Chain A
């Protein structure tokens, strides 16, 4: 199956700092990227959708100025959590769409802990 990587796999940061999470599709071009967030014992919740080269579309209740998404290339998308607070502690999962085959894949996730 297709390979999707996320880096880092886990990160601990101080409140007020910014954290960047990278998502790479290693063997296909991701025309669309979804970013999900999963709180403990809860389901994945869609945060935003981005298409390569355009601005991301955010779901209701997700602050676009806090969660900056960059999808500058077909193999790399980044999510930056700015001025992180403890309530941002969560599991962040990227989900690229293989545009050539219209298949959806998921990254292994990044565990963010904000102290």
Chain B
């Protein structure tokens, strides 16, 4: 069965610092991988996705993620965090028929 692990429940970074959110997945076939952001009162917003091809994926808001098959990872990165990036971030793997299996989420706090 598919599963997603986000090892960090909370992460705090200073504004302007770099960010990396970890995601590991378990999936038998070639995975479809996603990163979503959830702000209070808002629906999940897609940051980026990987289906195939270039393993470094660029997303919105300056985020990128790298698919590493050997490590079963799909870590999210941003070179310089802004205060508005504070939110909860979910990694997900696409199972059959658009079904998504989500990780537990990582809450990002940004300190000024």
Residues of A within 8 A of B (CB): 1, 4, 9, 32, 34, 41-46, 49, 93, 95, 97, 102, 104-109
CB of B105 within 8 A of chain A? yes
Given contacts A42-B104, A43-B103, A44-B90, contact A34 B43 (CB under 8 A): no
B residues with a Cβ closer than 8 A to A are: 4, 9, 36, 41-46, 90, 97-105
Find A43's partner among B41, B43, B102 (CB 8 Å cutoff).
Answer: B102
Ordered by A's residue number, 12 sampled pairs between the chains whose C-beta atoms are within 8 Å are A9-B41, A34-B100, A43-B4, A43-B103, A43-B105, A44-B100, A93-B43, A93-B44, A102-B98, A104-B100, A107-B43, A108-B41
B36: chain A residues within 8 A (beta carbon): 106
Hey, which chain A residues are within 8 Å of B99, CB to CB?
Answer: 34, 46, 49
Q: Are A32 and B43 in contact (CB under 8 A)?
A: no
Measured between C-beta atoms, what is the minimum distance from A78 to chain B in Å? 17
Report how far A35 CA is from B103 CA in the complex, Å.
Answer: 17
Among A43, A95, A102, A109, which residue has its beta carbon within 8 angstroms of that of B90? A43
CA distance A94 to B41 in the complex (A): 14
What's the Cα separation between A1 and B60 when bound, in Å?
12
Instruction: Assess the A4–B43 pair: CB atoms within 8 A.
Output: yes
Given known contacts A32-B98, A49-B97, A106 and B44 CB-to-CB distance under 8 angstroms: yes
Contact of A106 with B43 at beta-carbon distance under 8 Å, contacts A43-B103, A44-B102 already known: yes
The residues of B that contact A46 with a CB separation of less than 8 Å are 99-101
